[in-house]
Structure 1
Amino acid sequence: MSDGKRRLFGTDGIRGVANRAPMDAATALRLGQAAGRFFNRGGHRHRVVIGKDTRLSGYMLEPALTAGFVGAGMDVVLVGPLPTPAIALLTRSLRADLGVMVSASHNPFEDNGIKLFGPDGLKLSDAQEEEIEAMMGGDLTAALAAPRRLGRASRLEDAPGRYIEAVKASFPRGRSLEGLRIVVDCAHGAGYKVAPTVLWELGAEVVSVGVAPDGFNINAGCGSTAPGALAALVRERRADLGIALDGDADRVVLVDETGAVVDGDQILALIAASWAAEGRLRGGAVVATVMSNLGLERFLQEKGLTLIRTKVGDRYVGEAMREKGCNLGGEQSGHVILSDHGTTGDGLVAALQVLSVLVEERRPASEVLRRFRPLPQKLVNVRHSGGSPLADERVAEAIAAAEAELGPRGRVLIRPSGTEPLIRVMVEAEEEEMVDQLTARLAEVIRTASAAPARAAAE
């Protein structure tokens, strides 16, 4: 049984430096064996779908996982480099028991990760991950199939085409991208083939960048975390819109025709307004994390809609969407979940919803995508040497004082990092000067509180 503590799994699967534990072949093999044992229940033939992005280390992790699953008696379907949402889609379409995506998303090539999806295309629950992790720490002899019961591995050659057709189906029939010039930056990642193809087949003139992966250049100065070059190219080519995906294409940021970058909050606002007007928005609400701008919340309130906030992480957004009956949610970083079209964030599908509005309204992206004025927001990371600086009375008093000073004109969000010894300090207010002052003040109090235990220990 699990002890309730997850040491391998974080908020988005297992992640780490490639060829170093836990992101090494030995761990991937054991994960395949343990997850195979967990899902290999019942009399039917069991199947797992494995996809990856374009990192060099994918060539190490994919076969290790395959060996683990085959050894546990599961058939493996390999689809090669495809976006994370494609793996979720194919897991359901092929009626597989499990989907696996080998990717570290927006991280540099040195990192890699493994995400698991259940037969419903949803990320595994904390309880499921805990049980699989507990199995990995024990004796896996029982997970190994008899020679006659070993699984088989095969490659699904038409997997990209299946995903392309599913994405195109999310774009309204009768509309076309003809006459639009679109620059798409695929970050040399998993969407490098499918994203330009979708846009071209829908009629756009497509300028593609970040479509020459070499195993090392994924997310390197490109993609959703570095849209500067895309913005310059959009202006240079006089494009109508720029689309920047991340390494596994489950998040997107946009660039309007002036070169201005548009984040996930503005994308959520646009889709929410459009869907609400068409009677398609369910639950009367949008789900987002605590990081989303207060300007988005106020915009939705003006439309008679609610913003439901969750912890940071798209899995928590997805869980709240299902609980509240909502079909739109996402993160400021560009994860946008449209549950009418998929079970996880999909940067390409989200971009098509925006393009649909551009086509319908026939206005420039700079007008269509500016749905609200974001409040000034600042995030500072305060590193500490361990312990619980947030438990210090001085920190609690400083937070209470800042919240009282802001009142309804802003927000304070203080939270520990889930992966590093950091305290994240975020302040949002109507005046930028107040944001700077309060952020600096709170960060200094936290630094002082975190230094005190270290000094005491040294003495």
Structure 2
Amino acid sequence: MGRLFGTDGARGVAITELTVERATQIGKAAALVLAKDCGHRPKIIIGKDTRISGDILEAALCAGICSVGADAVLLGVVPTPAVAMLVKKYNADAGVMISASHNSVEFNGIKLFSGEGFKLPDDVENEIEALILDTPEEMEKNLSEGVNVGRMKVCGDAVNDYIAHVKSTVDVDFKGIKVCLDCANGSSSVCAQKIFEGLGAEVVMTNDKPDGTNINEKCGSTHMEGLKKAVVENGCDVGLAFDGDADRCLAVDENGELIDGDKLLAIFSKFMKGEGTLKNDCCVVTVMSNLGFFKFAEKEGVVTATTKVGDRYVLEEMQKNGHNIGGEQSGHIILLDHANTGDGEMTGAMFLQIMAKTGKKASELASVMECYPQVLVNVKITADKKGKWDTVPEITDAIKMYGEKLGGDGRILVRESGTEPLVRVMIEGKEEAVITEYANSIAALVERM
């Protein structure tokens, strides 16, 4: 797997890459690092999405956690943001989410949260990683025995507590709004319908029948075609698509047109600024955000702060400078007044709340921002080639040349994925045919070199 923790926890093909042994080690190390000096018997809550390997990894994590004298509380299938919220509500010392988010079923991952419900900063993850990879003997010295071993408990209230929390962030009735929900056959299948019907909306459900193998399969926020069609066919006012662990949300307007994370951030920022609730008049985005967002922000007087890709870095910037909204084009949107991490269902509720309060159609709200054409080409790489693409002069020279051709009307961003073995080539510009040609040329060069 290379580095144990990427931009969103430890992730890989379940069982063969993210092994049972590794999950047990993460359980041990996380319990020892996150619950050290707590002064009481540590308690760690564990949630999971619907993929088939979740049960196996959950058992391995629990074995590791309990073997060093901490208790494991099993939440069952819940969204990632539920773990982030409930870790504090349940007075736990840490939280774990077993999920590979938007990835296909063969992948799985382990995300860690502090007792305050935030994803761990790099230095804490590095401490856990060092314990596993460099000094595993230290974990063995801390094994418990007899009455000191940990216990596993099942919590039956997690889903309902999370539903109540999301509903509490809304102060308007959704009556008269017909919404189509695409649950990606993932975590939102257990709560999305109850949230939106409970808020008064008429709900049409799709991809809410998980069987362990169909998570993210041609559905959810990474495959929007089905939702676009369902919204139009069912005469819905809006559609919302979540990913496998429901920390992302993308929308579709009444005409079946996509409203991505950048547009949602623009809609939210403008509304919040008008309400006087946009702290520092600022929205935090990443380098992948569309040029159109920055032009919107300049026009509307919204300040932008830009980070590298990864919602954890967005969150760090928000906490550091006191901002209360930020996110990514992919639909990870953090509403820090109510959530410590990206929350797909809360994002969807926020969008419907703005529709209800303004009386505007989804398409009207989305017109606040014009998207520049954007092309993204992914190039698969092997583990031994990670971290090397930007050391090859032929590649860096080509990027510089195409960048000069685009001038001020576009930009090029080439980076390695933090969650998959890919180099991503992204180009924006006014003419789609031109930027497609440039992106394919750079991608071919990366692949060849």
Q: Same fold (TM over 0.5)?
A: yes
What aligned pairs does 1:15-414 form with structure 2 within 5 A after superposition?
A: 15-21=11-17, 23-42=18-37, 43-137=39-133, 138-139=136-137, 140-172=139-171, 175-383=172-380, 386=385, 388-414=388-414
Question: What amino acid is aligned across from residue 28 of structure 2 in structure 1?
Answer: Q
**SS of the residue 2:222 aligns to:** coil
d(CA) in 1 for partners of 2:267 and 2:324?
14
d(CA) in 2 for partners of 1:389 and 1:211?
40
d(CA) in 1 for partners of 2:72 and 2:420?
35
**SS of the residue 2:128 aligns to:** helix
d(CA) in 1 for partners of 2:26 and 2:216?
27
8 Å contact 2:52–2:213 — kept in the other structure?
yes
- By how many angstroms is 1:160 displaced? 1.1
Given the superposition, is the C-alpha separation of residues 230 and 441 from structure 1 closer, same or farther in structure 2, using an over 3 Å criterion?
closer
Question: What amino acid is aligned across from residue 406 of structure 1 in structure 2?
Answer: L
Return structure 1 stretches of 4+ with deviation > 6 angstroms.
none
Name whichever of 25-34 and 74-83 sits farther off: 25-34
- By how many angstroms is 1:399 displaced? 2.8
Given the superposition, is the C-alpha separation of residues 445 and 224 from structure 1 closer, same or farther in structure 2, using an over 3 Å criterion?
closer
Deviations along 1:277-325, whole A, 9 cap, x unmatched? 1111112221111111000011011111122221111111111111222
d(CA) in 1 for partners of 2:160 and 2:201?
18
d(CA) in 2 for partners of 1:419 and 1:164?
29
8 Å contact 1:33–1:143 — kept in the other structure?
no
**Counterpart for residue 433 of structure 1:** 433
Deviations along 1:327-367, whole A, 9 cap, x unmatched? 11111111101100110000111111111111122222111
Name whichever of 235-244 and 374-383 sits farther off: 374-383
Larger Rg: 1
Deviations along 1:58-113, whole A, 9 cap, x unmatched? 11111111121111111111110000000000111112111000011111111111
8 Å contact 2:185–2:207 — kept in the other structure?
yes
Deviations along 1:144-194, whole A, 9 cap, x unmatched? 12322222221121111111111011112xx10111111111111111121
- By how many angstroms is 1:418 displaced? 4.1
- By how many angstroms is 1:402 displaced? 2.7
- By how many angstroms is 1:384 displaced? 6.0
* TM-score using structure 1 length: 0.92
d(CA) in 2 for partners of 1:184 and 1:242?
6
- By how many angstroms is 1:404 displaced? 2.8
**SS of the residue 2:317 aligns to:** helix
d(CA) in 1 for partners of 2:447 and 2:64?
45
d(CA) in 2 for partners of 1:447 and 1:55?
31
**SS of the residue 1:368 aligns to:** helix
User: RMSD across aligned C-alpha pairs, in angstroms?
Assistant: 1.9
8 Å contact 2:29–2:131 — kept in the other structure?
yes
- By how many angstroms is 1:400 displaced? 2.9
Question: What amino acid is aligned across from residue 140 of structure 2 in structure 1?
Answer: T
d(CA) in 1 for partners of 2:148 and 2:332?
40
d(CA) in 2 for partners of 1:88 and 1:420?
23
d(CA) in 2 for partners of 1:306 and 1:426?
24
8 Å contact 2:11–2:419 — kept in the other structure?
no
Deviations along 1:15-73, whole A, 9 cap, x unmatched? 1112213x222211121111122233232121101000111111111111112111111
**SS of the residue 1:216 aligns to:** coil
- By how many angstroms is 1:251 displaced? 0.2
**SS of the residue 1:191 aligns to:** helix
Given the superposition, is the C-alpha separation of residues 64 and 340 from structure 1 closer, same or farther in structure 2, using an over 3 Å criterion?
same
8 Å contact 1:186–1:244 — kept in the other structure?
yes
Identity over the aligned pairs, expressed in percent? 44
Question: What amino acid is aligned across from residue 203 of structure 2 in structure 1?
Answer: V
d(CA) in 2 for partners of 1:73 and 1:446?
48
d(CA) in 1 for partners of 2:285 and 2:146?
48
8 Å contact 2:98–2:109 — kept in the other structure?
yes
Deviations along 1:380-427, whole A, 9 cap, x unmatched? 234567383423334333333333332321112122344666432221
Given the superposition, is the C-alpha separation of residues 223 and 144 from structure 1 closer, same or farther in structure 2, using an over 3 Å criterion?
same
**Counterpart for residue 456 of structure 1:** none
Given the superposition, is the C-alpha separation of residues 72 and 331 from structure 1 closer, same or farther in structure 2, using an over 3 Å criterion?
same
d(CA) in 2 for partners of 1:383 and 1:112?
19
